[in-house]
């Protein structure tokens, strides 16, 4: 209930700067996506994964630029959400009821171009009609970030699976890479126990995901995140559970 | 129901929603050219062909004035001039949007105004940047679907038939579980408007069993407040704010609770915090200015009214109150010249009969407070002359303000007439009658005032009883005519208005539908609602009135339990109608 610290002028200045950065990143990401799609069409890629898309050396480089742009955009979103006010982690939370089909469609279409360019297949396994109440923008943000992360670790497959287990909804983002290094698994466990593990950028993503999970409360239960190795693809698994 | 999709592209095809987005007209409003191109690209990809663009709020207003758009994608942050919220407000207030059109507000981040419903006019959805096609299409389809679900409810809401609208919510909840939370929220709002706080409470409590919704908790607080349980309401609002500092509505409610408890300083402090969190709301800055004036904090009042004028400049919600308030502040700072300039602006920019009266009162107060009693007296004389030439009277609060000033500057007859008018129209409001008596006491007219109050109350009661008597003895047409005349004399008397509407409705229930009586009854009820919204009897009468309207699609008769309704006499007792 105390007043906002810092000067209002500074706050307005920061807000407008962030607005500007977001615009630039949007344009950068959007332009890269459309260039990739055009190239794909020109080279007749996209008929299926596994075709040789590297006629043009710039294609994989652009794909990597898109990946980096996405990371920037994700990190900016997370920082904004966590430090909505200068130095105060608060964020307006807005739960809405959505069918999982709509949620997954939004996540998958956001990752589509990047995954195609990187020749990674996305498998989906979820009950599309199931309704769940959650903060849609936050959860989409967490899942897209987890998929982006998996792009770095995976060989050529990522799986997004959602299922309900005794009143909790479990989202799993799995890959067929080498799995998370032990330090990351520990970081996941530490975040789960409420320890801030902000040593690097992956720590930020994990911390943000954990904050988002905790914001979701229903009948006295809260959400959580954890990291595992194994699963059907025998790689790294990011797990988000929501009440 | 688990479906496994394995796609190369990773994008499952969304359910076909039955909406053809290619035939619609689109408007993109953004000050950043790159974003406009990006959005245009996305819209083309979902099949759109008619796309217009605007790079500023002003340009958007011009286009909106020329053409009805089906979908508006508007950035919240538009640089200089109007912001997206102000464009939306003006478009809604000027009716430039048809009910079916979709307004999507785009913003770089979730702002307080955006998510917490701090603004009165809400867009259909907010989309956070960066926008992707999947998100855009999903949200467009969802908004369109929700509009279909709410169509009948919104129509009943506009007719103020709150009880029917609440029943429609129940029907839609059964059909569309995906919208259950929104429908329950709407239902609770409707029940509150219909004067059924206990039923609204049940809805909120059911929602809160599942999850902690700020608005539901604040809704319970509002009900407590309305029941006179100010302390409990206070604690609820404080709890909501502790849980979520951004839920602006709770601050406004908390301030209202503090006012009712007589803690004006604290109320002002709460409004000040709310205004810091959400500085761009004209009504909030105005309440803050008025609260600050009440506790004599001139500096804070000045700041609030200045802000009010600044944000009002681009907003359709610019109101005269900020000018009058600012003029008072200037008077307190002994800057009469600036005060008079503001009053001149108010009268120039806000044409309307009551603005002249209110400006004149403010002028008198400014002179009076700055110690220029000669000029204050002159304003009082002018105000008296204006009142003589005008039979209509403004709302109670303004009447009391005028009477107070007139007594202060030494005018006598006009304020007495004003106070009698107030008493006649509020003859059973004990709190207000006390306030009027105090004004008489202060003017050293205590005994005379008490007699005047008694006489005015008696006049109102007699008028009421005569109408009820005619009605009870079965002379319906005469009763209706009598009440019509009573309304002329007592235009704002709630009892008279309610009974008058009840008689018109009963008359039609017995003698058949009549368009003129229908329009008259509707006018009376809308006037009641503008005086004091949220009354149970209002909702019941509107429902009865709506049922009388011959519908072409003639639904099965809803059946009125008590077609004759109930009539209250002046004593407030229920009287059974004579059949």
Q: Is residue B534 part of a domain?
A: yes
Structural domain including B509 reads 474-547
- Nearest-Cα distance to chain B for A22, in Å, is 6
Name residues whose C-beta falls within 8 Å of residue A194's C-beta, 6 or more positions apart in sequence: none
Q: Is the CB of B10 less than 8 angstroms away from the CB of A112? A: yes
Probe site for chain B from A94, A141, A232 (most B CB atoms < 10 A):
A94
The pLDDT of residue A232 is above 60: yes
SS3 B335: coil
A62 contacts chain B (CB < 8 A): no
Q: Is residue B243 part of a domain?
A: no
The pLDDT of residue A5 is above 70: no
Residue of B nearest to A17 (CA): B108
pLDDT band at B560 (very low <50, low <70, confident <90, very high): very low
Q: Is residue B122 part of a domain?
A: yes
Q: Is residue B99 part of a domain?
A: yes
CA-CA distance, B54 to B79, in Å (whole number)?
13
pLDDT (0 to 100) of residue A76 = 82
- Among A72-86, A212-226, B420-434, which is the least confidently predicted range? A72-86
**DSSP assignments along B534-564, one per residue:** --HHHHHHHHHHHHHSPPTT-PPP---S-TT
- Among B110-124, B215-229, B244-258, B526-540, which is the least confidently predicted range? B110-124
Which 3-state string (H, E, C) describes A68-93? HHHHHHHHHHHHHHHCCECCECCCCC
The pLDDT of residue A86 is above 80: no
pLDDT (0 to 100) of residue B30 = 94
Last residue of a domain, one of B149, B168, B192: B149
pLDDT band at B8 (very low <50, low <70, confident <90, very high): very low
- Nearest-Cα distance to chain B for A194, in Å, is 19
If you average pLDDT over residues B416-441, what whole number do you get? Answer: 92
pLDDT band at B61 (very low <50, low <70, confident <90, very high): very high
pLDDT of B304-346, one tens digit each? Answer: 999 988 877 777 767 788 999 999 999 988 899 999 999 999 9
Q: Is the CB of A16 less than 8 angstroms away from the CB of B77? A: yes
pLDDT (0 to 100) of residue B450 = 95
CA-CA distance, B256 to B569, in Å (whole number)?
32
- Those of residues 183-212 in A touching chain B at CB distance below 8 A are none
pLDDT of A180-201, one tens digit each? Answer: 988 888 888 887 676 665 555 5
Q: Is residue B485 part of a domain?
A: yes
Cα B462 → chain centroid: 33
pLDDT of B269-284, one tens digit each? Answer: 999 998 887 777 788 8
Contacts of A90 in chain B (CB under 8 A): 245-246
Name residues whose C-beta falls within 8 Å of residue A207's C-beta, 6 or more positions apart in sequence: A82, A191, A196, A197, A198
Q: Is residue B361 part of a domain?
A: no
Averaged pLDDT of chain B: 86
pLDDT (0 to 100) of residue B10 = 37
Q: Which residue has the higher pLDDT, A74 or B559?
A: A74
If you average pLDDT over residues B455-460, what whole number do you get? Answer: 94
Q: Is residue B201 part of a domain?
A: no
Nearest to B78 by CA among B103, B101, B107: B107
pLDDT (0 to 100) of residue B67 = 93
Q: How many domains does chain B have?
A: 3
CATH of the domain at B122: 3.40.50.2300
If you average pLDDT over residues B212-238, what whole number do you get? Answer: 91
CA-CA distance, B22 to B71, in Å (whole number)?
11
Q: Is residue B103 part of a domain?
A: yes
Nearest to A219 among B6, B7, B210 (CB): B210
Q: What angle do CA B346, B350, B352 make, to 5 degrees?
A: 120
The pLDDT of residue B571 is above 70: no
pLDDT (0 to 100) of residue B277 = 79
Query: Cα torsion for B354, B355, B360, B364, to the nearest 10°?
Result: 110
Probe site for chain B from A112, A123, A218 (most B CB atoms < 10 A):
A112
Nearest to A21 by CA among B110, B106, B108: B108
Nearest to B507 by CA among B468, B546, B476: B476
pLDDT (0 to 100) of residue B226 = 82
CA-CA distance, B487 to B496, in Å (whole number)?
7
If you average pLDDT over residues B85-89, what whole number do you get? Answer: 88
């Amino acid at each position: 209930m105390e007043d906002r610290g810092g000067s209002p002028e500074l706050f307005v200045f920061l807000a407008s700067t962030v607005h500007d950065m977001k615009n630039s990143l949007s344009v950068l990401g959007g332009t890269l996506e459309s260039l990739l799609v055009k190239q794909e069409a020109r080279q007749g890629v996209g008929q299926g994964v596994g075709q040789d898309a590297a006629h043009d050396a710039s294609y994989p480089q652009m794909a990597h630029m898109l990946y980096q742009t996405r990371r920037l955009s994700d990190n900016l979103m997370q920082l904004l959400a966590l430090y909505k006010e200068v130095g105060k982690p608060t964020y307006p939370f807005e739960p809405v009821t959505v069918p999982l089909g709509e949620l997954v469609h939004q996540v998958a279409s956001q990752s589509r171009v990047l995954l195609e360019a990187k020749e990674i297949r996305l498998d989906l396994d979820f009950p599309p009609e199931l309704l769940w109440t959650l903060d849609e923008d936050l959860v989409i943000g967490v899942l897209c970030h987890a998929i982006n992360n998996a792009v770095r670790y995976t060989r050529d497959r990522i799986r997004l699976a959602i299922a309900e287990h005794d009143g909790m909804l479990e989202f799993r983002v799995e890959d067929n890479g080498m799995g998370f290094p032990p330090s990351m698994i520990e970081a996941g466990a530490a975040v789960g126990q409420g320890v801030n593990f902000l040593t690097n950028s992956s720590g930020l993503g994990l911390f943000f995901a954990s904050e988002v999970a905790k914001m979701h409360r229903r009948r006295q239960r809260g959400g959580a995140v954890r990291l595992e190795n194994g699963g059907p693809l025998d790689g790294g698994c990011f797990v988000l559970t929501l009440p | 129901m688990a479906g496994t999709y394995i796609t190369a592209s990773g994008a499952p095809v969304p359910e076909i929603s039955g909406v053809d987005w290619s035939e619609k007209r689109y408007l993109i409003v953004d000050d950043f050219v790159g974003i406009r191109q990006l959005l245009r690209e996305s819209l083309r990809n979902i099949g759109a062909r008619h796309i217009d663009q605007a790079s500023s709020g002003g340009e958007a207003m011009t286009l909106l004035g020329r053409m009805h758009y089906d979908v508006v994608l508007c950035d919240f942050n538009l640089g200089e001039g109007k912001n997206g919220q102000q464009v939306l407000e003006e478009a809604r207030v000027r009716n430039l949007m048809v009910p079916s059109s979709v307004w999507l507000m785009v913003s770089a981040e979730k702002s307080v105004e955006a998510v917490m419903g701090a603004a009165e006019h809400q867009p259909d959805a907010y989309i956070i940047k960066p926008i992707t096609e999947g998100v855009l299409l999903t949200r467009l389809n969802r908004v369109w679907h929700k509009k279909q679900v709410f169509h009948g409810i919104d129509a009943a809401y506009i007719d103020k038939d709150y009880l029917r609208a609440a029943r429609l919510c129940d029907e839609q909840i059964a059909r569309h579980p995906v919208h259950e939370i929104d429908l329950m929220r709407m239902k609770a709002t409707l029940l509150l408007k219909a004067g059924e706080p206990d039923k609204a409470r049940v809805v909120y409590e059911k929602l809160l069993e599942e999850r902690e919704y700020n608005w539901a908790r604040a809704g319970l607080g509002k009900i407590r407040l309305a029941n006179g349980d100010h302390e409990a309401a206070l604690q609820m609002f404080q709890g909501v704010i502790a849980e979520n500092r951004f839920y602006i509505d709770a601050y406004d409610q908390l301030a209202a609770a503090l006012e009712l408890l007589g803690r004006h300083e604290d109320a002002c402090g709460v409004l000040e915090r709310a205004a810091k969190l959400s500085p761009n709301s004209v009504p909030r800055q105005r309440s803050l200015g008025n609260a600050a004036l009440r506790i004599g904090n001139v500096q804070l009042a000045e700041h609030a009214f200045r802000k009010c004028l600044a944000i009002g400049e681009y907003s359709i919600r610019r109101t005269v109150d900020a000018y009058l308030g600012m003029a008072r502040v200037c008077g307190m700072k002994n800057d009469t010249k600036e005060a008079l300039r503001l009053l001149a602006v108010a009268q120039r920019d806000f044409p309307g009969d009551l603005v002249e009266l209110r400006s004149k009162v403010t002028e008198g107060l400014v002179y009076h407070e700055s110690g220029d009693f000669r000029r204050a007296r002159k304003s009082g004389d002018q105000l008296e002359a204006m009142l003589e030439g005008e039979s209509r009277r403004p709302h109670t609060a303004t009447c009391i303000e005028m009477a107070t000033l007139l007594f202060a500057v030494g005018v006598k007859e006009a304020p007495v007439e004003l106070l009698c008018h107030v008493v006649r129209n509020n003859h059973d409001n004990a709190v207000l009658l006390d306030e009027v008596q105090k004004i008489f006491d202060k003017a050293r007219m205590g005994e005379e005032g008490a007699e005047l109050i008694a006489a005015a109350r008696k006049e109102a009661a007699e008028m009421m009883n005569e109408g009820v008597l005619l009605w009870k003895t079965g002379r319906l047409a005469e009763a209706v005519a009598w009440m019509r005349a009573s309304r002329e004399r007592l235009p704002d008397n709630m009892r008279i208005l309610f009974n008058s509407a009840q008689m018109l409705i009963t008359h039609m229930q017995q003698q058949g539908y009549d368009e003129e009586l229908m329009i008259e009854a509707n006018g009376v009820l809308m006037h009641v609602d503008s005086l004091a919204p949220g009354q149970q009897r209002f909702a019941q009468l509107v429902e009865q009135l709506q049922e009388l309207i011959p519908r072409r699609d003639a639904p099965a008769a809803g059946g009125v339990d008590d077609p004759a309704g109930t009539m209250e006499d002046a004593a407030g007792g229920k009287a059974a109608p004579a059949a």
